[in-house]
């Protein structure tokens, strides 16, 4: 057995701490799903949802460690462009693109079948695909000129009432992407993760934007904080 492969840099980039993957004679594979439009990464050296931001850097760092990365994105052109940029800028040939839209069962099934047929197993899954869930007035948001400390503290919630608009369509898309998308991909790839001989890992990335204190609607904050009244049937 080879020495453990360190992937702490990638894990840190995904805001999940550090972890180690033990590799045997078979290569490690990772999948990463989307990044701010991102949501997951699978460690078996396949990455989905990594066409920009944090996801792209997670893909880069894992690939630099010798991991085979499957980078996924909803938009095929953007995903292909991301892979080409990694190959060009970092001289990485071990990054592969596969289209994935976590909102649809058939897209997730296609990815699972591809991994099973080509690699037979998966070692790491990184879930980092997400959408904001509101319609934003971008110019209005810029004009507020909110400083970083106000953002991170949550005190910007009331200021954002004027530039963020909650709609049913945006809310449903957010729920289907951020919650059900993560669940959908994890359940589809779990059988392949169980076949890992390296000790499979699932990494779920989150964001400060998901904190209840950042929601300007007080009634909604109170309802969502009461876990006793919610289940998936709701």
DSSP string for 100-128: --TT-HHHHHHHHHHHHHHTS--SEEEEE
Question: So what's the pLDDT on residue 151?
Answer: 65
Residues ≥6 apart with Cβ < 8 Å to 94: 45, 63, 66, 67, 68, 69
| Sequence ranges of the domains in the chain | 5-131+184-208
CA distance 220 to 105: 29
Tell me the H-state helices in 14-167: 53-64, 76-90, 105-118, 138-144, 148-153
5-131+184-208: CATH topology is Rossmann fold (3.40.50)
Give the count of beta carbons closer than 10 Å to the beta carbon of residue 110.
16
- pLDDT under 70 in the chain at which residues? 1-29, 32-52, 148, 151-155, 157-158, 208-209, 214, 216, 233-234
Question: So what's the pLDDT on residue 207?
Answer: 72
Question: So what's the pLDDT on residue 219?
Answer: 83
């Amino acid at each position: 057995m080879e020495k453990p492969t360190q992937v702490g840099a990638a894990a840190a980039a995904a805001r999940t701490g550090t972890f180690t993957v033990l590799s045997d004679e078979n290569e490690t594979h990772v999948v990463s799903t989307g990044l701010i439009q991102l949501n997951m990464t699978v460690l078996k050296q396949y990455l989905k949802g990594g066409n920009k931001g944090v996801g792209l850097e997670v893909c880069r760092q894992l690939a630099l460690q010798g991991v085979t990365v499957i980078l996924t994105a909803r938009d095929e052109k953007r995903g292909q462009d991301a892979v080409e940029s990694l190959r060009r800028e970092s001289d990485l040939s071990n990054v592969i693109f596969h289209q994935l839209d976590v909102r649809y069962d058939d897209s997730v099934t296609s990815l699972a079948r591809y991994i099973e047929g080509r690699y037979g197993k998966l070692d790491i899954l990184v879930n980092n695909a997400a959408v904001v869930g509101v319609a934003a007035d971008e110019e209005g948001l810029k004009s507020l000129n909110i400083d970083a400390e106000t953002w991170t503290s949550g005190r910007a919630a009331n200021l954002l009432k004027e530039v963020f608009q909650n709609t049913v369509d945006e809310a449903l898309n957010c729920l289907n992407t951020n919650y059900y998308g993560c669940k959908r991909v994890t359940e589809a790839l779990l059988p392949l993760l169980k076949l890992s001989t390296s000790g499979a890992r699932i990494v779920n990335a989150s964001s400060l934007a998901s904190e209840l204190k950042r929601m300007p609607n007080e009634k909604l904050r109170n309802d969502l904080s009461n876990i006793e009244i919610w289940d998936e049937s709701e």
